[in-house]
Amino acid sequence: MTPPTAAPAKVDPKVLLISFLAAPILMGIMFLNPSWEPLHSLTQSPGWIPVGRVIGSAVVLFMLWSSWRYEHHVKPRTADMLRQKGMNPEQIGFLITTAECTSGTVVGMILYMLGASITEFWCFASISIVAILFWAWHYRTFLLQTPTP
């Protein structure tokens, strides 16, 4: 006898979109607070920051590429299988692509916490915001057709 499985949680994709877009903005506002003391001096950056920028940029580019790869190579092959399981491939695609695009915010936050400037955080966060807005535009028909609970 198989154990009963829980039904997947129904989350409004518009709420996810707003939270994915609000996260980098709220983090940036928090970092601008003068009482926030990151792990570095505000006057001097550590010497490894250029290497961190390159590694962070590579991670962000890989995540942006993987979003594109999912949309153009994986989703077309798995759409029928997802529909047979009762899942919406558009919902899964929206979640995967926008969630992967938030990696820029995470990379920027980690670099800032370890000594980079707030400008570097905003550069990585702005890449995330633009990428999330791109995928939101790509999935606009799905977002507009989804009823709000």
Dihedral, CA atoms, 74, 80, 81, 86, nearest 10 degrees? 120
pLDDT of 7 reads 46
Residue 104 reports pLDDT greater than 60: yes
Please tell me what DSSP assigns to residue 146.
Answer: S
pLDDT of 1 reads 53
Reduced to 3 states, what is the DSSP secondary structure of residue 147? coil
C-alpha to C-alpha distance for 147 and 80, rounded to whole angstroms: 23
For the entire predicted model, the pTM comes to 0.79
Name every residue whose Cβ is closer than 8 Å to that of residue 53 and which is 6 or more positions away in sequence.
111, 116, 120
C-alpha to C-alpha distance for 44 and 25, rounded to whole angstroms: 25
The model's pLDDT over 44-66, given as tens digits with 9 standing for 90+, comes to 667 888 898 899 999 999 999 99
C-alpha to C-alpha distance for 45 and 28, rounded to whole angstroms: 18
**Which CA distances in Å does 65 have to 57, 109, 147?**
12, 21, 30
The model's pLDDT over 5-50, given as tens digits with 9 standing for 90+, comes to 544 556 678 888 888 888 888 887 777 765 665 555 555 667 888 8
The model's pLDDT over 59-88, given as tens digits with 9 standing for 90+, comes to 999 999 999 999 888 888 888 998 898 888
C-alpha to C-alpha distance for 131 and 64, rounded to whole angstroms: 8
Integer-rounded Cα Rg, in Å, for the chain is 18
| Angle at CA of residue 28, ends 103 and 24, nearest 5° | 35
